[in-house]
Amino acid sequence: MKSFLKYSALTLATGAALALGSCEKALDKINLGATPGDLIYNDSTLANLSLNYIYDQNLPLWFGMGGIGFSAVNPTGLSDESYADNAYLQGTVQPNDVTDFGTTLDKGNNYGKIRTINMFIRDVRAGSLPAGTKNRLIAQAQFFRAWRYFDLVRLYGGVPLVMSPLNGVGSEARDLTYLPRNTTTETYAAIAADLDSAARALPGKWAASADWGHITKGAALAFKGRALLYAASPQFNPGDDQARWQAAYDASLAAKNTLSASGYALHASYDQMWFQEVNNPEAVMITGFNTSSGDQTKKNNTYDNGTRPAYTGTGSGSNQPTWDLVQAYPMLDGKRPGQSTRYVYSQQLFYKNRDPRFDKTIAYNGCVWPLNGNTSYRLWTYYKGTASAEPRNPSTTSFYTRKAINPTVDVSSAVYVGTDWMEIRYAEVLLNLAEAACGINDLTTAFDQLKAIRKRAGIEAGTDGNYGLTTGMSRAQMFDAILYERQIEFAFEGKRFWDLRRWRKLESTLNGKRRLGLTITLTATAPSDFATTRDALAAAPGGLDNIYTNYFTIATKQVDTKYNIAYKPEYYFFAIPQQAIDNNPKVQQNNGVWGGAFDPLR
């Protein structure tokens, strides 16, 4: 990859110092241990290198994860997609557990990153670069300031808005940094204002392929659409204020129109879109990874190696789909299992006639899954007695996630995969627009976006051309259809937990349940040489169906073995850590169970 986002060796000191891991020879004569700010921000190359640091600090990892607090938790294990064991699921979260607010002076926490961004904006404005260059640099920094505040507001509600660097030297200066929390409404307004400002200065598409991965006008508007959709959702909008839905609709429509005009669209292939590095029409906002050496630091995504079966790489075979997710996929005609009259769903033959996204996301016992350059590799996860068909570390659920797993790299290279993470895809822009349109009761627009998503997926159009969608849905039914589509379209992309949370559906969807896997067992009637003939038997016409029908038994099992899921209603707004309140006495705790006076719904 050649994007500037691939450089990860660059680091900035807290003040004006700049250290460069790799520079042009012309820069070698500069004291890089103490480069003055007026030099950095009067030189476009140095200013862009400083901006690179902001990108590197703030771009999310796979599943939208970050490096601190709640953002370091893989959200797939917090929903019904995968499974995990932590205090959130157990219902035992304490007031000091969610530390994303920041409790210490640290450039790596949210307010430390915001300070770096604010310093960058201040210094660029004070520099002598051309106005257009300044505006583009500042716009990208404003995007990431909005990104940081969004990370905070969706966890806690309103937070103190710091829009310029604060000085904390001396008692008087320290007292001036004691800022109260802004309301949630004010926080969302600040996010929207930063993104509007960014959109005005940024191009619809960067001209040079080397600039692939820079934030664009469309990315700023798409993120605004996402943020305002949260503000309109029941988590923040229990009164169903139509003005909030209208704002989300306006932002999402502007994002779609801007992106479409710049050549963005649904990628032709639901699975191959992950492997188009540059000018990918689906990729609205990416985090770039690479396998390079030399002038770039190798930056691997870790997802690929950690997700594939352990014996096909050096990872752990994590991110295993649950039986709950497997059963959720629609049939080939777009109807839910059990509702289709064209395709009868059978648990024994669960893989047959499913939405094409099923085979492109779920790797199951007996499926062909090209791996390590072997285009005909077939995965087996069954048991014979107590012995697994997998050489080591067998899947707990009998399934693996195959989405975005590179089929061509060999075992030795699996740890060095450079597949980019798409944090915002064009498909999300369409589904955000659908949901916001439903919010303002424009069900026709909502319906059209769902049809577009399903058409690309490869679902059968049907005689009515509606791809399995029910006509005449009410507003409530349309909301449900959109959330269902998001569950399938974005499986293992870190969206499901956040969708359930912003819709206040964590308890109604998950509580009291234990997530399930399958145990697939080879029966005594199977051929004695099954282990050596299974691939050939499965490859014959109807072969896999025959194997499942005659030689396998399947049984569900609980993968949550210690407790039933127990989300608490107070988790829709977490507590501010007590140390943060001790550090800033003007910060009020959230109300309700957390015992404070701050209302996060204001």
Q: What is the 3-state secondary structure (H, E, C) of 295-320?
A: CCCCECCCHHHHHCCHHHCCCCCCCC
Same domain, 208 and 237: yes
Same domain, 278 and 332: no
Token code pair at residue 569:
């209603």
pLDDT score, position 295? 52
How many H helices and E strands in the chain? 20, 10
Q: Is residue 153 part of a domain?
A: yes
pLDDT score, position 241? 98
Same domain, 278 and 184: yes
**Does an H or E element contain 55, and which?**
helix 44-58
Q: Is residue 118 part of a domain?
A: yes
Same domain, 310 and 284: no
Same domain, 281 and 334: no
Token code pair at residue 531:
């282990």
Whole-angstrom CA distances from 126 to 39, 199, 232 are 11, 22, 37
CATH code at position 91:
1.25.40.390
Contact 330, 454 (CB under 8 A): no
Residues found in the chain? 602
pLDDT score, position 261? 98
Same domain, 32 and 80: yes
Q: Is residue 531 part of a domain?
A: yes
Q: How many domains does the chain have?
A: 2
Same domain, 225 and 263: yes
Same domain, 245 and 145: yes
Q: Is residue 417 part of a domain?
A: no
Same domain, 290 and 312: no
CA distance 372 to 350: 26
pLDDT score, position 172? 62
Same domain, 341 and 238: no
Strands (E), 291-403: 362-363, 383-384, 387-388, 400-401
Give the type of residue at 38: D
CA distance 63 to 32: 35
Q: Is residue 415 part of a domain?
A: no
Same domain, 329 and 285: no
Token code pair at residue 72:
């370091």
Q: Is residue 213 part of a domain?
A: yes
CA distance 195 to 385: 58
Q: Is residue 470 part of a domain?
A: no
Same domain, 213 and 275: yes
SS3 385: coil
Token code pair at residue 106:
């640290």
- 14 secondary structure, DSSP code: S
User: Which residues are 599's β-sheet partners?
Assistant: none
- 512 secondary structure, DSSP code: T
pLDDT score, position 205? 95
Q: Is residue 200 part of a domain?
A: yes
pLDDT score, position 61? 95
CA distance 156 to 123: 30
> Which residues in the chain show pLDDT less than 50?
1-34
Domain extent, residue 253, equals 4-299+572-580
CA 542 to chain centre: 37
